């Protein structure tokens, strides 16, 4: 890495009219993270002095979106009040950069750029005044072309609308990512004019100016052209999403995770998955999430910001959100674990069970059609079908405490606040409103009657 300080300028002022959205383009998301968020996070891996973000359209929304960013102290927001082109945008940022630093210029709508590619560009600044990231593509239509002379030296960049017929046949394109020393960059930008079809000050014009003044220019290529893919439409957003997911799936499989169909999985944010875990189709996992080894996740599951320990089995159509699951738990199908759920080892949560703010100790079983909320449940307790912890009185939430080795019969209601001590048994169909003592049986139901000769009502014929 160059010994000069590094400043990064991210161009994020564009309106993104082709997105047809009230949301600024740079806040649209790939894998659950905004386009600008991807670029910022890649930039931070280079440990720059500051990241200067040039904003314009939707400035308030964009700045507010990063108020809680972990590295917000490094983010410097600069408003481009008039969108006069990329060259003008960089010029608005340069007064914030002191000394002859390396200036790495990025665009906020290129989210797949890898930090190692950017680091290689900065390294090349030790022997060059200007480094470009370019790519060879099959279809360069709409993109700026790299021009070279007979000795293959880069001489400039020509935009599509200004390119001659011969120049439009060039397949080496400009990615929009450029690194330069600040002092010559300032001089080059002062010479850029808007004498072009768009009447804008193009940042790319500095390449020709640098070449004419004899500065050494380097052009590097990314390892994968997907890195330089920009987003200007919803279609391109969807395409980049699938590219991202393909790469993520390949990384997980290379690390020992079995993914039954890499085209039908979505990983969003920071997700860690252990070896020998198997993930079936149509699973969405959003981080921060940590999944252990030997976990089996069945089709159509949604896992959000949770921890799942080794050996767990998640059956189909289960939703897990802000929950913690111990070893060898068994959940679903059609279960919903809401925020605050904490399952110890070997807990069984069955079909159509919902939990929320519930702590279940080792070996607890809640098998069918029950709701356990704002509750603590002791080890080896069995909760039958249709049991409800009635935790809400219309104004406040209340706690239910259930001890160890308790049996709660089906279709019972536990009206909180209430405590059931160790070893107690609740008869099916009971409504429990007060404490149940240790090893006692509690039954609360109407006495059964039989009426002989009962005639069921019948509809009268018309």
pLDDT at 72: 86
Q: Is the pLDDT confidence value at 205 over 70?
A: yes
Q: Is the pLDDT confidence value at 2 over 80?
A: no
Contact call for residues 378 and 392 (beta carbons, < 8 A): no
Q: Is the pLDDT confidence value at 33 over 60?
A: yes
Set out the domains of the chain in order of their start, with CATH numbers: 6-228 (3.90.550.10), 234-442 (2.160.10.10)
Rounded Cα distance between 247 and 307, Å, is 23
Catalytic entry in 69, 221, 246, 368: 368
Mean pLDDT score, 201-218: 91
pLDDT confidence band for 439 (50 / 70 / 90): very high
pLDDT confidence band for 1 (50 / 70 / 90): low
User: Would you tell me how many other CB atoms lie within 10 Å of the CB of residue 108?
Assistant: 28
Most confident of 4-8, 136-140, 317-321: 317-321
Mean pLDDT score, 408-437: 97
> pLDDT tens across 210-235, in order?
999 899 999 999 999 999 999 999 99
Q: Is the pLDDT confidence value at 305 over 90?
A: yes
> pLDDT tens across 248-279, in order?
999 999 999 999 999 999 999 999 999 999 99
Q: Is the pLDDT confidence value at 197 over 60?
A: yes
Contact call for residues 138 and 172 (beta carbons, < 8 A): no
Rounded Cα distance between 246 and 264, Å, is 9
Residue 391 is encoded by which pair of tokens? 């935790």
For residue 284, which of 311, 312, 317 has the smallest C-alpha distance? 317
Rounded Cα distance between 168 and 140, Å, is 8
> pLDDT tens across 16-31, in order?
888 889 999 999 999 9
Sign of the alpha-carbon torsion through 39, 223, 85, 122? positive
Query: For the chain, what is the mean pLDDT?
Result: 94
Contact call for residues 230 and 113 (beta carbons, < 8 A): no
pLDDT at 462: 74
| Start-to-end C-alpha separation, the chain | 93
Rounded Cα distance between 375 and 418, Å, is 10
Active site residue 368: yes
> pLDDT tens across 350-384, in order?
999 999 999 999 999 999 999 999 999 999 999 99
Mean pLDDT score, 8-20: 90
């Amino acid at each position: 890495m160059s010994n000069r300080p590094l400043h990064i300028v991210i161009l994020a002022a564009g309106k993104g009219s082709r997105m047809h959205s009230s949301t600024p383009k740079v806040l649209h998301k790939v894998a659950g993270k905004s386009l600008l968020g991807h670029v910022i996070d890649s930039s931070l891996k280079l440990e720059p002095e500051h990241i200067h973000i040039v904003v314009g359209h939707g400035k308030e929304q964009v700045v507010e979106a990063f108020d809680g960013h972990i590295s917000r102290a490094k983010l410097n927001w600069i408003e481009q009040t008039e969108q006069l082109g990329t060259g003008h945008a960089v010029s608005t940022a340069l007064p914030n950069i002191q000394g002859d630093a390396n200036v790495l210029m990025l665009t906020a709508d290129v989210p797949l750029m890898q930090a190692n590619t950017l680091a290689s560009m900065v390294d090349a600044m030790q022997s060059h005044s200007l480094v470009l990231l370019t790519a060879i593509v099959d279809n360069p239509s709409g993109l700026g072309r790299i021009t070279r002379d007979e000795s293959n030296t880069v001489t400039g960049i020509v935009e599509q609308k200004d390119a001659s017929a011969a120049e439009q046949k060039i397949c080496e394109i400009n990615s929009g990512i450029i690194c330069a020393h600040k002092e010559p960059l300032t001089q080059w930008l002062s010479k850029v004019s808007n004498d072009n079809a768009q009447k804008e000050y193009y940042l790319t014009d500095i390449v020709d100016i640098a070449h004419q003044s004899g500065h050494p220019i380097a052009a590097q290529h990314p390892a994968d052209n997907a890195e330089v893919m920009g987003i200007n439409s919803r279609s391109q957003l969807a395409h980049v999403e699938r590219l991202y997911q393909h790469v993520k799936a390949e990384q997980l499989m290379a690390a020992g995770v079995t993914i039954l169909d890499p085209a039908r999985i979505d990983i969003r944010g920071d997700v860690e998955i252990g070896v020998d875990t198997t993930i079936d189709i149509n699973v969405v996992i959003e981080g921060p999430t940590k999944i252990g080894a030997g976990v089996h996740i069945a089709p159509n599951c949604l896992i959000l910001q949770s921890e799942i320990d080794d050996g767990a089995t998640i059956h189909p159509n289960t939703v897990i959100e802000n929950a913690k699951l111990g070893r060898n738990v068994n959940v679903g199908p059609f279960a919903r674990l809401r925020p605050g759920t904490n399952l110890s080892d070997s807990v069984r949560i069955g079909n159509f069970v919902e939990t929320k703010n519930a702590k279940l100790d080792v070996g607890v079983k809640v098998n069918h059609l029950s709701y356990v909320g704002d509750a603590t449940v002791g080890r080896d307790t069995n909760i039958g079908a249709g049991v409800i912890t009635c935790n809400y009185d219309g104004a406040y939430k209340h706690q239910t405490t259930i001890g160890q080795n308790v049996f709660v019969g089906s279709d019972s209601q536990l009206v909180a606040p209430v405590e059931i001590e160790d070893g107690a048994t609740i008869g099916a169909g009971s409504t429990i409103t007060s404490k149940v003592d240790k090893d006692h049986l509690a039954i609360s139901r109407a006495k059964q009657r039989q009426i002989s000769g009962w005639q069921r009502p019948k509809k009268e014929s018309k």
